[in-house]
Structure 1
Amino acid sequence: MQGNELIEVDTNVRLHIRDWGQGKTIVFIPGWPLSLEMYEYQFTQLPKHGYRCVGITLRGFGKSSKPWGEYTYDVFADDVRKVLEALDLRDVTLAGFSMGGAIALHYMARHKGERVSKLALFGAAAPSFVKRHGFQYGLESAAVNGFIELCYADRAKLNEDFGKIFFRSENAVSPKLGEWFHNMGMEASPHATAASLIALRDTDLRGDMAKVNVPTMILHATQDKICLFELAEAMAAGIKGAKLIGFEKSGHALFYEEKEKFNKELANFVG
């Protein structure tokens, strides 16, 4: 497959997939509440340098199906596996941003790293997005509860507020680019938006880290206001042999704000 396609992963559930380029394969999982479109500045560059880029928009988001039902890391990880099987992808670098990074980590544990030879985590919402017993990093659960309440009251305001802390500063990107990300988030199902926030709040992946048995790279901005840098340090300590690279000039959106460095580090890691 080359181009765009919908792949069925469940009864009446199809995921939007983009498959560009040839060479070593990188499978990209987007973050909440975005779609594969967030990786535009990776997909327009990396295939020029001999990489095959496969993007997966998670169920409930973007142009993928938006069923009522469960939105958990188990469901998302199972969907990723079905896409890898449908495209017969092997020896891939599994790459995830924010919630997508948490899903990539969970895939490694739940599916024993099947078909994956390397793991790349970008601003990942792992091993726990929130503080919990024995884990003092991350956001307060009450803050996420506020996001969930706002999702049901005024989802456009939720996305606007999220956009204000997504970048290094409110003026770090052009108004039009901020609007583009906002519209991408609004394309998501409101049910999936809220249910995924619940998954972010309630899922503890600390036990998954020891199950990763492939080379792992963690790219994380030191000024990230959403997934705090301490999460990256916890992952680097918990995943055997993981390499942590800090980004000093970006916020959560390191894949855009420092896209040249981001793409270079990713390409060097994939090899």
Structure 2
Amino acid sequence: MGQYIQVNDKVKIYVEDIGEGTPVLFIHGWPLDHTMFEYQFMQLPRQGYRCIGIDLRGFGRSDSPWEGYSYNQLADDIRVVIDELKLDNVVLAGFSLGGAVAIRYMSRHEGQGIAKLLLMGAAAPSFIQRNNFPFGAPEEQIEKLMLATLADRPQMVTDFSKIFTDKGGSASFEDWLHQHAVGASAQGTLRALESLRDEDLRGDLASIRVPTAIFHGEKDQICSFELAKLTNRGIANSRLVVFEESGHAMLFDEPDKFSEELTGFLADHSVSRSTNASDLPTMIYPSV
């Protein structure tokens, strides 16, 4: 069932809500929408889960204002949805940009209503390289994406899609992916890129206290695998799950493993902290 929820600045956010049981709230990546999780929406309700997908402002069926694409605002939109639907004991699952926004939600709203956190290919703790943080993408890379968005957005989407997965897919899958990415608003596509460039989550990680799983493709060309290790190190009670044959979108590159790991995490009550990132430097914490 789909519905629109009006958030505090009069923007309407589209929410898809299917199934009954433990709620799993999915936040999509840039520049897609909630339909990227359509296979999970077909599988999980059969297993007793309620799947809720948000289209972030500027994407999918949600309104597309010019302003309001900061992580704070996107996290506030999620809070309104959670409050409006009276959700509790939620598994918050964010992919890429959605993973970054999920982290900010946990920090800014003190994890209100959230029992577990799932980060998938998350753009965290910082999408770009910064002082004392050489692990993200060069800032020039995102500047090129922004220029390409202004010059020829459909071609930018085509080029970006080539590194979205490692294995690629059928021509029909590529068309489907392109259709949804181009379907995002131009302003949402551009302004969310600005947030990816400007936002820094290094100071948010320590505030997360719920069991957390970090799914990340070892061949990720968008959010490097080093970012997953750093995020794992920064979040207590987190576990890093490596997708060795995946690029950025492990749910498409290794769908069977993704499904197995996802359902295992949803049912697991003993998620423990991984120590496989212990050799990484400590100079990046705290943030500034």
Q: TM-score range by the shorter chain?
A: over 0.9
- C-alpha deviation, 1:187, in angstroms: 1.0
Q: Distance in 1 between matches of 2:258 and 2:12?
A: 30
- C-alpha deviation, 1:105, in angstroms: 0.5
Q: Distance in 2 between matches of 1:6 and 1:262?
A: 29
Match of 1:117 in 2: 115
1:147 and 2:145 matched = yes
Match of 2:208 in 1: 212
Match of 1:236 in 2: 232
Matched-pair contact (CA < 8 Å) for 1:41–1:256: no
Letter in 2 for 1:39: F
Matched residue SS, 1:95: strand
CA deviation digits over 1:157-203, x for unaligned, max 9? 1101110100104xx20011111111111111111111110100111
Letter in 1 for 2:65: P
User: Which of 184, 188, 206 does residue 192 from structure 1 map onto?
Assistant: 188
- C-alpha deviation, 1:10, in angstroms: 3.3
Matched-pair contact (CA < 8 Å) for 1:41–1:259: no
- C-alpha deviation, 1:92, in angstroms: 0.2
Q: Distance in 2 between matches of 1:18 and 1:159?
A: 24
Matched-pair contact (CA < 8 Å) for 2:128–2:138: yes
Q: Distance in 1 between matches of 2:7 and 2:254?
A: 34
Q: Distance in 2 between matches of 1:117 and 1:182?
A: 34
Match of 1:225 in 2: 221
Deviating beyond 6 angstroms after TM superposition, the runs of 4 or more aligned structure 1 residues are none
In structure 2, the gaps of 5 or more residues are 268-288
Percent identical pairs in the alignment equals 46
Q: Distance in 2 between matches of 1:56 and 1:174?
A: 27
Q: Distance in 1 between matches of 2:166 and 2:9?
A: 41
Matched residue SS, 1:230: helix
Match of 1:43 in 2: 41
In structure 1, the gaps of 5 or more residues are none
Letter in 1 for 2:164: F
CA deviation digits over 1:218-242, x for unaligned, max 9? 0000001101000000001110121
- Structural RMSD (CA): 0.9
Match of 1:20 in 2: 18
Match of 1:69 in 2: 67
Match of 2:285 in 1: none
CA deviation digits over 1:61-93, x for unaligned, max 9? 011111121211011000000000010000101
TM-score normalised to the size of structure 1? Answer: 0.97
Matched-pair contact (CA < 8 Å) for 1:73–1:106: yes
Matched residue SS, 1:44: helix
Letter in 2 for 1:87: L
Q: Distance in 1 between matches of 2:22 and 2:10?
A: 31
TM-score normalised to the size of structure 2? Answer: 0.91
Matched residue SS, 1:17: strand
Q: Distance in 2 between matches of 1:146 and 1:57?
A: 25
Matched-pair contact (CA < 8 Å) for 1:46–1:263: no
Matched-pair contact (CA < 8 Å) for 2:218–2:244: yes
Matched residue SS, 2:128: coil
Q: Distance in 2 between matches of 1:198 and 1:114?
A: 27
- C-alpha deviation, 1:11, in angstroms: 4.2
Letter in 2 for 1:179: D
Q: Distance in 2 between matches of 1:217 and 1:34?
A: 22
Matched-pair contact (CA < 8 Å) for 2:209–2:237: no
Task: Call closer, same or farther: CA 1:11–1:201 in 2, change over 3 Å.
Answer: closer
Matched residue SS, 2:91: strand
Q: How many residues align?
A: 267
1:203 and 2:199 matched = yes
Match of 2:96 in 1: 98
Matched residue SS, 1:154: helix
User: Which of 78, 81, 86 does residue 83 from structure 1 map onto?
Assistant: 81
